[in-house]
Structure 1
Amino acid sequence: MDEQNLNQSSVNTEPQNQVQLKPIHPYRNSTIMYLIVIALLFGVFRLGYGAGQSGYSFDVREFKIVNQSGQGINVDYGLLWEAIDVVNRKYIDKDQIDQQKVLYGAISGAVRSAGDEYTEFFDPETLAQFRSELQGTFSGIGAEIGKSEGNIVVVAPLADSPAEQAGLRAKDIIVKVDDQTIVDWNVDEAVSVIRGEAGTQVRLTIFREGNGAPFEVTITRAQIEIKSVTLTYREVNGRTVAILKMSRFGDDTERLLNAAITELQGRNVAGIILDMRNNPGGYLETSVDVSSEWLERGKLVVTEARSDSDTITFNSSGSNRLGNYKTVVLINGGSASASEIVAGALKDNGKAILVGEQSFGKGSVQELIPLRNNTAVKVTIAKWITPSGKNLNQGGIEPDIKVEISSEDIEADRDPQLDRALEEVLR
């Protein structure tokens, strides 16, 4: 770690012997949440068109929810109001109860009872944070965080972020935040203590496989602005390769990608490397638009399979501005959802070779449905399937050429995955 990094963070390697860890397979049967770290979930999602389409009606007078689909479900919600009333009347510090928090807590608990990490309620504060993330502005440590088999894990630190400067790595398990053990926490709870204002510090206790005892890392949170698309070039033996780095599928992606394509088309480029490592996802529609830059009109990009057996197919619009360039796609365990859609579409349509490591494996779609008072619910509405018929909830995308990055590579600032991608694109 260089001097600048040491100024940003401090590391305590004294053993923390009282921690009980659950067995972990970081990228098997996992869930992911994109944090920078103020964040909630990216994944793949669609913007909703309104509320009230669930088939249920709420009668306040009778405190009942009746299923309108005729399935005979009749739930009496009087118990909820009875419990709230008991707390309001009996709690020793009843004057300190925030009724707005009571409401949001009740809604959040109801939504989370679906048992899906990706289905959640956003109060005004968390909704504003979620929207700011899609615009590429974050306040936090700069890491993608997920939950895997009961553990809160680092999917990947973002480039040049406080988390990266502190030495955090993919697959690190976060055991404690400051003095709080979070082994059994859900991602929302972990977010609430990891996130914070720029300039403040957070102390994480990390367990790293093969590293012995847990160790502590103190990280200074920062304001982070990240463009979703960047374009660089690499010269190899007199030939130029364009490297498109895509960090998410957000509000600025279309504009930045258009500018990048215009620029690289003006150069004598031998090929393109699309680097989607550690890209946790974003808008479904944007992933289809990105895929269309390599595909002819009508080519299948992804299929949405819903619970009612209906399917929706998303086909290429036929932009195809990059279809004639030899392309290699870089993926790893931090590539999830929308990035997996693009990788799968280009691979299955014969437009790209995949290099790197198996992707995360998140094959579900969420819809963001706005509610009253600047709140919203993000709900899982479908699973998505690649053109070859693969449901990524059953495992991520396997690269055509598997290349891993070792601890020694990281410490020596080597990137064997990019090196192999350069070899392939110039072959």
Structure 2
Amino acid sequence: MMDFEQNNKPETVMDNAIPQPILKESVKKKIWPVIGIVLLIAASFGAGWKTGNKGYTFEPKTFKVINQSEMPQTVDYQLLWDAIDTVSSKYIDQPIDQQKVLYGAVSGAIAAIGDPYTEFFEPKDLQSFRTDLQGSFDGIGAEISKKNGQIVVVAPLEGTPAQRAGLMAQDAILEVDGQSTANWTTDEAVDHIRGKRGTQVILTIFREGKTEPFKVTITRDKIEVKSVKVVYKEVNGKNIAVMTISKFGDDTEPLFNSYVNEILNRKVDGLVLDLRNNPGGYLQTAVDLASNWVQEGQVVVTEARSDGDIQKYKANGNTRLSGIKTVILINGGSASAAEILSGALHDHGIAELIGEKSFGKGSVQELVELRDGAAVKVTVAKWITPNGKNLNKDGLNPDVEVKLTEDDFNNNRDPQMDKALEEIMK
């Protein structure tokens, strides 16, 4: 399993965004937030079906679902099996695809929880999800998620068709090729947005500040983006490193470490850490990167679970960048692991935050594999910054707010970066 802080998915989504899950690495079987009721349903599906004269019947079973805040309640899942058996035997267009019925029942049960980050993956969807952090796929290159019931752009990745087409963080995707996204899950949106390179997809976008939705036609391409890059700027005779981290994926830590060596060799005077439009990724990577600034033993982030269990993730103590003045750029596309790193450096007084309020994706998802290659991703915990801020509820507010307008975007201006360079020179 992998513990993500998902943050949802990139189509990767990058069309994996979450914000991308914050993933707590563990392909073994850690815990992505998973809910007991879901596991019970999945297990009973596997064990309770048997062939009958009318297609499928279920041997009655009753399970207890425990609500921590109330007395235990008895839930009779025979209702579910009765409904499925009735439809299977009476529906006019036979035969019914029982596999679809099974997946639909599990998916519906999990969707009823009402958490956009808790979801069921069919085998094909699980495979797609696992490619999200690996950095190579065909699509448009935009991280998407579901927020307030809408499919929204969390982050257009740099150098991708999505960025070239002008998509922006927080754009709401109302339609994909004329189909409404109103009732879609993030995975369904990803399935429709992704496609073979060279093909086109038409998105209907609503953007805050605009009075009407508008359409954007994007030609899909192979998306292969390194998660870390560094450029150097000469500002008033001082050498400033600008490190951009686009996600916390498989290649992030080795690339980061390589660039840190380069930065130290260059003896830079300051570092701008650009986490704008970073949808998140692996939790441990965020902790390890924070340890380049945060002193050994100090808390980077606290994980609070529903059962009251508290786990503190602490810096491992290499602090190679602790002597370099650092500022961090964030915006509405900064989520999950990006918020953990930003919150840790901010709360320990190491870095000032500049830009716009972050996304507010501070929950942990646990990925649990089920039978036949399916899986459940469940929210199991929330992230708290060292100073006690609930990332999932509040997000992060910048110390210095600087807006990036559409006019700035269209004219290649970056007042947020300008302000970061100004602040680092003080």
Q: Common fold, TM-score beyond 0.5?
A: yes
1:208 equivalent to 2:207? Answer yes
TM-superposed CA distance for 1:62, in Å, is 3.0
Residue 114 of structure 1 deviates from its aligned partner by: 1.6
Deviations 1:329-385 (A, max 9, x none): 110010011111110100111111111111111221111222233222111111111
Q: Structure 1 residue 53: deviation in Å?
A: 9.2
- Tell me how large the CA RMSD over aligned residues is: 2.4
Counterpart check, 1:394 vs 2:372: no
Which aligned pairs between 1:180-191 and structure 2 lie closer than 5 A?
Answer: 180-191=179-190
Partner residue in 2 for 1:164: 163
Q: What is the CA–CA distance in structure 2 between the aligned matches of 1:122 and 1:422, rounded to whole Å?
A: 44
Q: Distance in 2 between matches of 1:175 and 1:72?
A: 41
Tell me the SS of whatever aligns to 1:304.
strand
Q: Which residue of 1 aligns with 2:23?
A: 45
CA distance in 2, matches of 1:87, 1:40: 37
Q: 1:84 — aligned with what?
A: 84
The answer on 1:93 being equivalent to 2:93 is yes
Aligned-residue sequence identity (percent) comes to 54
- 1:379 match: secondary structure: strand
Q: Quote the Cα distance in structure 1 between the aligned partners of 2:289 and 2:391.
A: 19
2:304–2:310 CA contact under 8 A, matched in 1: yes
Q: Cα distance 1:68–1:145, how it changes in 2: closer, same or farther (>3 A)?
A: closer
Query: Which residue is 1:361 aligned to?
Result: 360
**Counterpart secondary structure, 1:164:** helix
Moved more, 204-213 or 241-250: 204-213
Shift of 1:33: 4.9
Q: Partners of 1:184 and 1:101 in 2: how far apart?
A: 18
Residue 275 (structure 1) shift: 0.7
Question: How far apart, CA to CA, are the structure 1 residues paired with 2:84 and 2:257?
Answer: 53
Output the CA distance in 2 between the equivalents of 1:131 and 1:178.
Answer: 25
Counterpart selection for 2:62 from 58, 61, 64: 64
Q: In the superposition, relative to structure 1, how do residues 374 and 186 fare at CA in structure 2: closer, same or farther (>3 Å)?
A: closer
1:35 aligns with 2:11: yes
The answer for the alignment partner of 1:20 in structure 2 is: none
- Give structure 1 stretches of 5+ with no counterpart: 1-30
Alignment CA distance shift 1:226-1:104 (3 Å): same
Alignment partners' CA distance in 2, 1:140 and 1:39: 12
1:341 partner amino acid: I
CA shift for structure 1 position 107: 1.6
**Secondary structure at the counterpart of residue 22 of structure 2:** strand
With over 3 angstroms needed to count, the CA separation of the structure-2 counterparts of 1:361 and 1:116, relative to structure 1, is same
Say if 2:196 and 2:221, in contact at 8 Å, map to a contact too. Answer: yes
Aligned to 1:304: 303
Please state whether the residue corresponding to 2:79 is helix, strand or coil.
Answer: helix
- 1:126 is paired with a residue whose SS is helix
**What's the offset of the Cα at 1:214?**
2.3
SS at match of 2:360: coil
SS in 1 for 2:166: coil
CA distance in 2, matches of 1:370, 1:47: 14
Alpha-carbon deviation of 1:285? 1.4
In 2, are the aligned partners of 1:234 and 1:241 still within 8 Å (CA)? yes
Distance, in Å, in 1 between the alignment partners of 2:21 and 2:211 is: 32
TM-score (norm 2): 0.86
- The alpha-carbon distance between structure 1 residues 216 and 67, as it changes in their structure 2 partners (threshold 3 A), is closer
Note if contact 1:46-1:368 (Cα within 8 Å) is conserved in structure 2.
no
How far has the Cα of 1:233 moved from its partner?
Answer: 1.4
Match of 2:52 in 1: none
Deviations 1:310-347 (A, max 9, x none): 21111101111111111011100100111111101001
Q: Distance in 2 between matches of 1:101 and 1:114?
A: 20
How many residue pairs get aligned? The number is 396
TM-score w.r.t. structure 1 length? 0.86
Q: Are the counterparts in 1 of residues 9 and 132 from structure 2 also a CA contact under 8 Å?
A: no
Q: Which has the higher contact order (CA 8 A, sep 6+)?
A: 2
Residues 362 and 382, structure 2, Cα contact 8 Å, conserved in 1: yes
1:259-312 CA-partner distances (Å, limit 9, x unpaired): 111121211211111110001111111111111111111111111111122211
- Give SS of 2:263's match: helix
Deviation at 1:229, TM superposition (A): 1.3
Q: CA deviation at 1:256?
A: 1.1
8 Å CA contact 1:361, 1:394 repeated in 2: yes
Unmatched tracts of structure 2, length 5 or more: 1-6, 49-58
Closer/same/farther in 2, CA of residues 185 and 131 from structure 1, 3 Å limit: closer
Distance 1:286 1:171 in 2: 25
Query: How far apart are the structure 1 equivalents of 2:388 and 2:353?
Result: 17
Question: 1:8 corresponds to which residue?
Answer: none
Query: Structure 1 residue 110: deviation in Å?
Result: 1.7
Cα pair distance change 1:53/1:34, threshold 3 Å: closer
Match of 1:243 in 2: 242
Kept after mapping to 2: 8 A contact 1:40/1:130: no
Aligned match of 2:333? 334
Asked if 2 retains the 8 angstrom alpha-carbon contact of 1:336 and 1:361, the reply is: yes
